[in-house]
Structure 1
Amino acid sequence: MLNTRHLRAFLTVAQSGSVIRSSELIRRAQSAVTRTIKELEKDVGVPLFERRAQGMLLTEFGRALQVRVERAFAEMDAARAAFTAACPAVKSVAQAPIFALAIGRQRLLVFVELVEQHHMGAVADSLGISQPAASQALREIESGLGVRLFSRSAGGLQPTPLGALLGMHIRRALAEIRAGELEIASLQGAMAGSVIVGTLSLGRARLLPTAIIRLMKQYPKLTVSTVEASFEHLAMRLRAGDIDFMLGALREPEHTIGLSREVVTHDLLSLVVRKDHPLARKRQITPADLSAVSWVLPQRGTPTRELLERALAARGLGKARVAVETADLAITRGLLLGSDLMTAVSAHLYHHEIAAKLLAVLPAALPETRRPIGILQRPSSSPSLAARLLMDELHAIGKL
């Protein structure tokens, strides 16, 4: 794992092509810059430069890392500009070490985890360090800035608006650095590392598992991590750079402002009941059947509920008579198997139960419920090669 303290020297050598010029720019001895580059190359396990008489030339590994390091520093420059504008009287802000990533990687992780978890003890436990070490990391960052970044409350340490902003930019910078490490591994032919996907229900059942299986056959050393949460929580983590992309039913454009959308496929709601349900024997489902049945559905205001109510209204029916409100697929499955309740759901979510003839899809078309399933990304992000490969697999499966 590379040391973030070495990145400023690396970038100035990469951009200037000279250790001498780099030492002048960052005001460090030439021997210190040379030593820093050697330590960084030891961290990543590959040569980043070719040493030639005319200067330092980037290798293919160095070029890949340079792109990611430049993006990481762009995030920190944006944070610096925000702090400078918000705290014009604090002279130490512009030159704070945090903006040059001149702080150890673990201390950066302490800060971003504290923004998320709010408790010093919990952060120390999650990172495997002592609580005094975690507290020291925060003191170092705050003293370097000359600005308080957290306030104490009954709920623990709460980030100030500037603290939350800094946490977001550090998360994005660290994500770029991780991507650089993965790309170096891929250039070595290892294609190691991981992809982190935020998943909504409609991406989990068929699309993502199939894509992962296909990807792992080609790159067995690659790992995929998934994060399951609400749309709002995943969108927040996507914007912060914690996940590579989101997969699931795409919300209306006004709910995804600031994110780029790629449609992978489309889906329709199906009416699903147990195999011995009275309606399962019918060849045609009438509006009267739908008005008489009791439903198990997600809560009011969710996309599935709104789509179903739109379809019922198109048939001149009132609101569904909902006996149970739940978005949990396991609970819904249990209720369907043991009662005469009906649900409206993507049939992919119960593919195995339908194939095993435990559940049945009723013969009722709901064209009004067609919705796009796709990928959400930050428009300014540059996905790692592994993430791009997984997205390519998703698009290929969506066309089947």
Structure 2
Amino acid sequence: MTAAPHAINPKHLRAFLAVAQTGSVVRSSRMVRRVQSAVTRSIQELERELGALLFERRPQGMLLTGLGRTLLHRVERAFAEMESARQGIAAAGPPSGWNDHAPILSLSLGRQRLLAFAELVEQRHMGAVADSLLISQPAVSQALREVELGLGIEVFIRSPAGLQPTPLGALLALHVRRALAEIRAAEVEVGLLQGAMAGRVTVGTLSLGRTRLLPQAIIHMQESHPNLTVSTVEGSFEHLAMRLRAGDIDFILGALRSPEHTIGLTRETIAQDELAIVTRAGHHLAQRPDPDFAALANARWVLPQRGTPTRELLEIALQGRALPTPQVAVETTDLAITRGLLLDSDLLTAVSPHLFQPEIDAGRLAILPLDLPETRRGIGILQRAGGSPSLAARLLMSSIRAIGRL
């Protein structure tokens, strides 16, 4: 989780929100229980960080500028995440005496300490967090101490095996990550309004989105917005969905899973895909003018692991044709390994053909003329339900939709 060029210190956002809501430094100082000069300094520091005026100072009060209104939208969403954290902890029945006005719940810790806590829940090792954030291990320890002392509850279980987040710690970290994602989006959007059409989109990619849709969409987007950059995150669907729910990535592109696996996410179909049976061009089945499915009975396969959508779809298709479960010689999801095995052996695979389109076009691999219409599935975009994607993310998704219509 990296900061934008104009990095917001979350410690100033409580004062900003109070002034935006009340239109007055005097009234906001009572709301946040800070002296007026401290509120004024927070607003000035925030404006300095962003390089923009957020309020018009008028005799009748403080009036948000256009940039201020843009920031307010994201700040309200960030604080809504922390309110959800507070309510979730309260509903779980924490120990008596816990502090429901802890500094972390109002984002009143420094950004680095919020990041250190969130990363510690994920990595569970102080040294690893220190290395990833380029800070000292004592600084990570101090961040954890501040969080726990402020809350009045422990958020980690210490053991010889290391740190294990408690359920309340994991819940709090989830909402902290989401709040930080809103702050990052605010930084980018304020920059865009200042004329700096720059920003970063982080996309979780599954195999079916990587080879055509995403590369062409990036090229299409960057023709108009060359300063927008794209980062991709690869991994299993479960890993990417976890990171999407935490706000670490903007959206996922790939084969859409069934609704029971996408609870809390919105699904949008961009294109359709159908599995094909692929082998080397010199394979004896590829040489037959009219192979039938019965010829697959003794075939040996390279396929993804059990439980993956491709494997399940193929097994169901073969069973529907009274064929045995495929004899799998190699289990892998690595396309490079699969490609090498196909080119130099008699193994078959079931795959979206565009994943090996260069080899098919070059005549090195061949698609067997055996249709599998029941394996048809949607390729699309997954977003977090209730999320508010940044402008940069919206631009890339728009490009993906345009490529999908071609």
- Give the TM-score of the pair, scaled to structure 2: 0.95
Distance 1:283 1:335 in 2: 24
1:137-167 deviation digits (Å, cap 9, x = unpaired): 1101100111011112343111011011111
> Aligned partners of 2:195 and 2:273: how far apart in 1?
37
Contact kept in structure 1, 2:85 and 2:171, CA below 8 Å: yes
Match of 2:209 in 1: 203
- Preserved contact between residue 64 and residue 180 of structure 1 (Cα < 8 Å): yes
Aligned to 1:338: 344
Q: 1:292 and 1:218, CA in 2 relative to 1: closer, same or farther beyond 3 A?
A: same
- The answer to whether residue 8 in structure 2 is matched with residue 8 in structure 1 is no
Residue 295 of structure 1 corresponds to: 301
Deviates more, 1:83-92 or 1:308-317: 83-92
Q: Distance in 2 between matches of 1:171 and 1:42?
A: 24
Two-structure CA RMSD over aligned residues (Å): 1.4
Contact 1:249–1:372 (8 Å) recurs in 2: yes
In structure 2, distance between residues paired with 1:83 and 1:355: 57
The partner residue of 1:237 within 229, 240, 243 is 243
Counterpart of 1:305 in structure 2 is 311
What code does the residue aligned with 2:203 have?
Answer: V
Please, which runs of 5 or more residues in structure 1 have no aligned partner? none
Deviates more, 1:44-53 or 1:159-168: 44-53
CA distance in 2, matches of 1:293, 1:86: 54
Against the structure 1 CA distance between its residues 357 and 78, is the aligned structure 2 distance closer, same or farther, given a 3 Å change threshold?
A: same
Between stretches 142-151 and 359-368, larger displacement belongs to: 359-368
Cα offset, 1:12, TM superposition: 0.8
* CA 154–247 in structure 1, closer or farther in 2 if over 3 Å, else same: farther
- On the 8 A contact 1:90/1:146 being kept in 2, the answer is no
Letter of the 1:186 partner, please give it. L
Question: Which residue in 2 is equivalent to 1:171?
Answer: 177
Contact 1:87–1:93 (Cα < 8 Å) also in 2: no
> How much does 1:43 deviate?
0.6
Matched, 1:151 2:157: yes
- What is the aligned counterpart of 2:166 among 127, 146, 160? 160
Corresponding residue SS for 2:297: helix
2:37 is the counterpart of 1:37: no
* Counterpart position of 1:379: 385
Number of residue equivalences: 400
**Aligned residues of 2:293 and 2:370 also touching (Cα < 8 A):** no
Say yes or no: does 1:276 pair with 2:273. Answer: no
TM superposition shift of 1:322? 1.8
Q: Residue 26 of structure 1 is aligned with which of 25, 29, 32?
A: 32
TM-score (norm 1): 0.97
Q: Is the 8 A contact 1:270 1:366 kept in 2?
A: yes
**1:397 alignment partner, one of 387, 399, 403:** 403
Are 2:145 and 1:128 aligned? Answer: no
Equivalent in the alignment of 2:253 = 247
In 1: Cα distance, 2:92 partner to 2:367 partner: 58
Partner SS, residue 292 of structure 1: coil
1:88 Cα deviation after fit: 5.7
> Aligned letter for 1:306?
E
Rounded to whole Å, the distance in 2 between the matches of 1:70 and 1:341 is: 55
| Residue ranges of structure 2 left out of the alignment (5+ in a row) | 1-6
| 1:309-328 equivalences in 2 (<5 Å) | 309-328=315-334
Q: CA deviation at 1:297?
A: 0.9
- Give the distance between the partners of 2:207 and 2:256, measured in 1 at CA: 11
Which residues in structure 2 correspond to 1:36-185 (within 5 Å)? Answer: 36-87=42-93, 90-185=96-191
Structure 2: how far apart are the matches of 1:139 and 1:88? 18
Q: CA deviation at 1:22?
A: 1.1
- Percent identity between the two aligned chains: 67
